Structure 1
Amino acid sequence: MLWITLVLFFVGGSLAQVPFLGVCPAVETVPEFDAARYMGKWYEAEKYFALFQFGGKCVTANYALSENGSVKIRNSQISSITGVASSLDGIGRLIGRSDDAKLTITFPSLPVGIDAPYWILDTDYDNWAVVWSCTNFGVFSVRYSWILTRERNPSVAVLEEAYRAIDRNKISRAYFLRTDQKNCPAMY
């Protein structure tokens, strides 16, 4: 049983890299979530470390509603090591009600099919959003969080709003890393 837990931990850890002892904490998501207002381009301002984003800069996420109600996702970044641009397309599906801010995300091009939780903890839709992902693996949980903004270089006031949402949910800010958004091409 221990080896199964360890395998799951490391496979899951390839998507989310901050392991914790204990289960995922209870968090609150946006009440009466408006998916249509959330769509569009977001810039990654800060994040928990993730191996799949190692060395990434100019990170963006684009969301678009599909006719079938799912969300088309395109995550893009430029390697600060090689300068090579890359993107990853995914599909988001709402879990439960259409006004619930909980989605599950799948990236069909990845060799391992994993459904990752994507919960919008809070957003004002126009300036900032805080996203949370946590998966339990027995006695461990693997956590990931993003602060997304509509502007590449958000003001301190915008980030402070996001921090308040993080603090309300008792999420540690100690693991957040600032995303490099300097000298990015216009298309990113």
Structure 2
Amino acid sequence: MLYAMMNKVAVFITGLVIVKAQIPFLGSCPDVQTMPDFNLNQFLGKWFESERYFAVFEFGGKCVTAEYNLGDSGAVTILNKQMSSITGLDSSIEGVGNVVSRDDAAKLTINFPSLPYNFDAPYWVLDTDYKNYAVVWSCNDFGIFNTRNAWILARSKNPTLPIIQKAYTALKKNGISRAYFIKTDQKNCPLN
């Protein structure tokens, strides 16, 4: 009986990890600092994914882009696109982002209504110069463990090393390991 209950708990936790984020860690979410004086309007527009933590929802994805625009209601509309490196098929998903508080405009929650499990996920901008790079962080706290996701975004498909190094500096400042990052393939991308 105890084994069956523990098995159900393990399956539930695994499901949460898969749906919410992809890299599990013991303990609570780390304390990270979002960008002070973040300007959402300057952040809007098209970004190319340069690097990311592994995420099931991006498995085999290449040519990944994210486009952010301001919707009529004041919410941020999100359009994420990618191509499967396995099948060559394009896919996209639309979402909505909302600023959590006026005191910290760099903290948003995002939601993708078409997903089978509907939830608000944290989406925090840790650093950006708006013209070249952005570092985005997400962490979900489940008490004894947390799940993390992180992205380095760029305005160009192939950012220069000095631009990526600025993103790495923001990661280091926040104690975020680069060990889990995977470089996103942006070659031969008809979507872009």
Bucket of the pairwise TM-score, normalised by the shorter protein: over 0.9
Q: CA deviation at 1:67?
A: 2.1
Match of 2:188 in 1: 183
Instruction: Tell me which stretches of 4 or more aligned residues in structure 1 moved more than 3 Å.
Output: 1-6
Secondary structure class of the residue paired with 2:12: helix
Matches within 5 A, 1:109-124: 109-124=114-129
Distance, in Å, in 1 between the alignment partners of 2:104 and 2:74 is 12
Q: How does 1:22-171 map to 2 (within 5 A)?
A: 22-97=27-102, 100-171=105-176
Partner SS, residue 95 of structure 1: strand
How many angstroms does 1:10 deviate by? Answer: 2.3
1:58 is paired with a residue whose SS is strand
What are structure 2's unaligned runs of at least 5 residues?
none
Greater gyration radius: 2
Matched residues in 2 for 1:86 and 1:141: separation?
28
**1:27, 1:6 → 2: CA distance?**
29
1:19 to 24, 27, 38: 24
The structural deviation recorded for 1:138 is 2.1
RMSD of the TM alignment (CA)?
Answer: 1.6
- Identical amino acids, percent of aligned pairs: 55
User: For residues 97 and 28 of structure 1, what CA distance do their matches in structure 2 show?
Assistant: 16
Cα pair distance change 1:159/1:179, threshold 3 Å? same
Q: 1:81 to 1:28 in 2, by over 3 A?
A: same
Instruction: Report the AA paired with residue 149 of structure 1.
Output: A
Question: Partners in 2 of 1:48 and 1:130 — Cα distance?
Answer: 12
Distance 1:14 1:105 in 2: 13
Q: Could you give the per-residue CA deviations for residues 20-72 of structure 1, whole angstroms, max 9, x where no partner exists?
A: 01110000001111100000000000000001100000000000011211000
Aligned length: 187
Q: Provide the rounded CA distance (Å) in 2 between the counterparts of 1:67 and 1:118.
A: 21
| 2:42 aligned counterpart, secondary structure | helix
Aligned residues of 2:20 and 2:140 also touching (Cα < 8 A):
no
Query: What's the CA shift for 1:153?
Result: 0.4
- Cα distance in 2 between the residues matched to 1:37 and 1:98: 17
CA-to-partner distance for each residue in 1:84-124, whole Å, 9 max, x for gaps? 00000000011011752000000000011111100000000
Matched residues in 2 for 1:68 and 1:32: separation? 22
C-alpha distance in 1 between matches for 2:177 and 2:104? 27
Unaligned runs of 5+ in 1: none
> What is the CA-CA distance between 1:137 and the residue it aligns to?
1.2
Deviation, 1:17, is 0.9
Distance between the aligned counterparts of 1:27 and 1:124, measured in 2?
Answer: 18
Q: Which residue of 1 aligns with 2:177?
A: 172
TM-score (norm 1): 0.95
SS at match of 2:86: coil
